Chains A and B, each alone.
Chain A
Amino acid sequence: MEAFLGGLAILLDPYVMLMVLLGTVLGIFVGALPGISGSTTIALLLPMTIAMGPIPAICFLGAIYCAANFGGSITAIMVNAPGDPSASATALEGYKMAEKGQAGLALGMSAVSSAIGGIFSVVVLIFAAPMLARAAYSFGPPEYFALALFGLSMCAAIGGDSAIKNLIAAAFGLLLATVGMDLTTGVERFTFGSYELSDGIGFVPVLIGLFAVGEMLDQAARRVGKAKIIHLDAARVPGWAEFKKCNRSIWIGSGIGTFIGALPALGATTAALIGYNETRRWSKHKHEFGKGSIEGVAGPEAANNAAVGGSMVPTLALGIPGSATTAIILAALIVQGVRPGPHLFNEQPTLLYAVFASMLAANMFYLFMGLYMAKLFARISLIPPAILWPAVFVLSIIGAYGPNQSMGDVVIMLVAGVVGFLFRRTGFSPAPLIMGLVLGGMVEETLKQSLIIFGDDVTGFLGRPIALALFAVTATGLLWPVVSRLLRVARAARA
Chain B
Amino acid sequence: MLGAGLAAPRSLRAQEAFPSRTIEVVTHAGVGGGTDITARMMMVQAPGVFKQEFLVVNRTAGSGAQALQYLASKPADGHAIILVTQTHLLTQLRNPSLPQFADLIPVARATADPQLVLVRRDSPFRTPQDLVEAGKQRSLRFGGTHVGGVDHVTIFAFGRAAGIQRPTLVPFRGGGEIVINLVGGNIDTAVVNPGEAEAQLRAGELRPLISLAEGRLDAFRDVPTAKELGIDVTGYTLRGFCVLKGTPEDRVAKLEAGLIEAMSGPIYKSYLQNTGQAPDSVAGRQVWGAQLEQFHKDGREALQALGLLRG
Q: Which residues in A have some Cβ–Cβ distance to B below 8 Å?
A: 39-40, 42-44, 46-47, 50, 136-141, 181-186, 195-199, 264-265, 314, 318-322, 324-325, 327-328, 331, 334-337, 339-343, 403-406, 408, 445, 449, 452-453
Does B202 have its Cβ within 8 Å of any Cβ on chain A?
Answer: yes
In the complex, the answer to whether B32 meets A199 with C-beta atoms within 8 Å is no
Which residues of the other chain, A, contact B30 by a CB distance below 8 angstroms? 324, 403-404
Could you say which residues of chain B place their CB within 8 Å of the CB of A453?
A: 141, 170, 186-187
Does residue B136 face the partner (Cβ distance < 8 Å to A)? Answer: no
User: Is B31's CB under 8 angstroms from A43's CB?
Assistant: yes
**Known interface pairs A43-B37, A138-B184. Does A335 touch B274 (Cβ–Cβ under 8 Å)?**
yes
**Is B59 on the interface with A (CB-CB < 8 A)?**
yes
CB–CB B146/A343 < 8 A: no
| B contact face: mostly helix, strand, loop, or mixed | mixed
Complex CA gap A449/B180 in Å reads 14
Tell me, rounded to whole Å, the shortest Cβ–Cβ distance linking A491 to chain B: 46
Q: Are B203 and A44 in contact (CB under 8 A)?
A: no
B141, A404: Cβ atoms closer than 8 Å? no
* Interchain CA distance A408-B66 in the complex, whole Å: 11
Q: A43-B37, A183-B147 are in contact. Are A405 and B200 (CB under 8 A)?
A: no
- Bound-state CA distance A320–B198 (Å) is 10
Cβ contact within 8 Å between A264 and B308: no
Q: Is the CB of B203 within 8 A of A342?
A: yes
Is the CB–CB distance between B148 and A186 below 8 Å?
A: yes
Contact partner of A321 (CB less than 8 A), chosen from B62, B176, B267, B306, is B176
**Docked pose: A215 CA to B16 CA in angstroms:** 54
Interface residues on B, range: 35 or more
A206 to chain B, nearest CB (A): 16
Q: Give the number of A-B contacts (CB < 8 Å).
A: 151
Which residues of A have CB within 8 Å of B275?
331, 334-335
Tell me the bound Cα distance from A320 to B199 in angstroms: 9
Complex CA distance for A340 and B199, rounded to whole angstroms: 6
Q: How far is the CB of B303 from chain A (nearest CB, A)?
A: 9
B157 to chain A, nearest CB (A): 16
Cα(A453)–Cα(B185), bound, Å = 10
Q: List 8 additional contacts besides A47-B41, A183-B172; criterion CB under 8 Å.
A: A47-B40, A139-B184, A182-B147, A314-B176, A318-B179, A341-B198, A403-B31, A453-B141
CA distance A195 to B177 in the complex (A): 26
- Chain B residue with Cβ nearest A40: B31
Q: Is the CB of A341 within 8 A of B203?
A: yes
How far is it, in angstroms, between the C-alpha of A183 and the C-alpha of B146 when the chains are bound?
A: 5
Alpha-carbon separation in the docked complex, A137 to B205 (Å): 11
Interface residues of B in 10-44 (CB under 8 A from A): 30-34, 36-37, 40-41, 43-44
Partner of A195, one of B41, B44, B65: B65
Are A136 and B180 in touch, CB under 8 angstroms? yes
* Cβ-defined contact, A46 with B37, below 8 A: yes
The residue of chain A having its C-beta at the shortest distance from the C-beta of B202 within the complex is A341
Is B32 a contact of A327 with CB atoms below 8 Å? yes
Question: Within 8 Å of chain A (Cβ to Cβ): is B291?
Answer: no
With known contacts A195-B61, A343-B202, A335–B170 Cβ distance under 8 A:
no
A–B Cβ pairs within 8 angstroms, 8 of them: A39-B32, A40-B31, A183-B172, A195-B65, A195-B66, A196-B61, A199-B60, A320-B180
